[in-house]
């Protein structure tokens, strides 16, 4: 007798098809093979007690704080542990519960829907297919990996065109280093570095152009020069940035960063790194929507390396799928970063394999954009990963 342990939902459904299970049975039992673990924050205690009871009634469970037993708290975080089938039944039952039952049911449906569905990304009318590869083009003298290499205009344009040939979907042009401890440059100097490259690549390629800046004045000039998207490491925290992007109808990458580049690596701490980052990204995405930025032009980035320890970065990579529940395309930029060097004890020029490993994991977790220095190698790794995932 041959036995096998099935850990993949797609594999489960394929095996049921092979042994002759009916399509109806595959649909029903497939939902029992998919599990959700969902954290809800600050659930009023009356709702939490009902949620616990109903989760148990459908065969799942709901973890609550011990304080709920003594009824000496107003609210609690709740962690639901349910199969897809149990989730369907639970949300229907919660609709008929008092207090905030219907609101909780709607929120659970939104979380599950966001996780299961591929978020759309459209930049100036152009649909961006996922997963896309974003090539890094730093026109700076002091970036941690390629500082000074493409500061010259001709070399920068040549590298941008080469990235397109290598398969880059997006070129991300930056004129100010954001490495830990880096100094700031004036808006005028940043524009002097970036704008000519944007204009040239806009004329000579059909790639989507992103500009890595947090300064509204730089962003506005870059958009006028042809940029399709602004990659904002401050996550729309600078006054006027959200409104500017909304007015011009371009896309935005909202990144999480704890602190500033000058101090972000000085003992970064989180209560729950995934939840804390998610809370920030959700709030800033709502700010973007209020400012008129189209919902399908918003990308979120957990900000690997920006105010995080090595352990924080590894945990973010392991749990990248959690950010999909926010409903926006996720970008990951781990290329050649110091946590790879510290994990593998390697200098920056030796971190290609570690960067590719993160890219493969990110694609498997449903990330929409991989930001990289090494375009050709990353494109190949992504294509190979997608070939396996599509089976």
Task: Give me the active site residues, please.
Answer: 337, 371
Separation of alpha carbons 294 and 217, rounded Å: 21
In 3D space, the residue among 122, 278, 286 whose CA is nearest the CA of residue 208 turns out to be 122
Separation of alpha carbons 221 and 331, rounded Å: 24
Token pair for 176: 């100010």
Tell me the pairing of strands 208-212 and 170-174.
parallel
Residues 6+ away with beta carbon under 8 Å from 16: 25, 26, 29, 30
Token pair for 217: 């004045």
Separation of alpha carbons 355 and 31, rounded Å: 34
Separation of alpha carbons 43 and 257, rounded Å: 27
Separation of alpha carbons 82 and 32, rounded Å: 9
Tell me the pairing of strands 75-83 and 61-63.
antiparallel
Q: How many CB atoms lie within 10 A of CB 33?
A: 19
* For the chain, the helix, strand and coil percentages under 3-state DSSP, each to the nearest 5: 50, 15, 35
Separation of alpha carbons 117 and 293, rounded Å: 21
Separation of alpha carbons 89 and 142, rounded Å: 55
Token pair for 358: 């993160």
Quote the longest CA-to-CA distance of the chain.
Answer: 73
In 3D space, the residue among 74, 77, 35 whose CA is nearest the CA of residue 271 turns out to be 77
Residues 6+ away with beta carbon under 8 Å from 263: none
CA dihedral 90, 93, 95, 98 (to 10 degrees): -120
CA 137 to each of CA 4, 225, 370: distance values in angstroms, whole numbers, following the listed order: 47, 16, 14
Adjacent-strand bridge partners of 123: 126
Separation of alpha carbons 157 and 167, rounded Å: 16
């Amino acid at each position: 007798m041959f036995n096998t342990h099935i850990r993949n939902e797609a594999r489960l459904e394929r095996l049921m098809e092979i042994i002759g299970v009916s399509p109806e049975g595959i649909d029903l039992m497939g939902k029992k093979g998919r599990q959700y673990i969902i954290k809800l924050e600050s659930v009023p205690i009356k709702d939490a007690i009902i949620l616990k009871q109903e989760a148990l009634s459908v065969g799942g469970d709901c973890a609550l704080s011990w304080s709920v037993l003594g009824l000496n708290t107003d609210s609690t975080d709740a962690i639901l542990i349910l199969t897809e089938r149990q989730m369907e039944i639970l949300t229907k039952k919660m609709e008929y519960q008092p207090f905030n039952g219907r609101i909780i049911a709607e929120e659970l449906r939104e979380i599950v829907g966001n996780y299961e569905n591929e978020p759309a990304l459209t930049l100036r009318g152009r649909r961006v297919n996922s997963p896309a590869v974003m090539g890094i083009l730093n026109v700076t003298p002091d970036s941690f990996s390629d500082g000074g290499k493409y500061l010259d205009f001709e070399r920068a344009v040549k590298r941008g065109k080469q990235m397109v040939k290598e398969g880059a979907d997006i070129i991300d042009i930056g004129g100010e280093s954001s490495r830990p401890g880096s100094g700031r440059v004036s808006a005028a100097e940043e524009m002097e570095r970036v704008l000519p490259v944007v204009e040239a690549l806009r004329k000579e390629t059909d790639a989507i152009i992103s500009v890595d800046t947090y300064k509204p004045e730089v962003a506005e000039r870059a958009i006028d020069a042809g940029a399709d998207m602004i990659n904002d490491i401050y996550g729309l925290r600078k006054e006027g940035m959200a409104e500017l992007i909304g007015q011009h109808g371009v896309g935005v990458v909202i990144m999480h960063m704890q602190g500033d580049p000058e101090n972000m690596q000085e003992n970064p701490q989180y209560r729950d790194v995934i939840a804390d980052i998610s809370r920030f990204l959700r709030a800033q995405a709502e700010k973007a929507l209020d400012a008129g930025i189209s919902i399908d032009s918003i990308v979120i980035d957990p900000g690997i390396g920006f105010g995080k320890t090595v352990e924080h970065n590894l945990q973010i990579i392991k749990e990248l799928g959690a950010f999909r529940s926010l409903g926006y395309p996720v970008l990951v930029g781990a290329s050649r970063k110091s946590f790879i060097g510290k994990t593998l004890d390697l200098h920056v020029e030796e971190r290609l394999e570690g960067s590719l490993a993160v890219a493969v994991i990110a694609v498997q977790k449903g990330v929409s954009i991989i930001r990289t220095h090494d375009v050709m190698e990353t494109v190949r790794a992504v294509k190979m990963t997608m070939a396996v995932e599509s089976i």
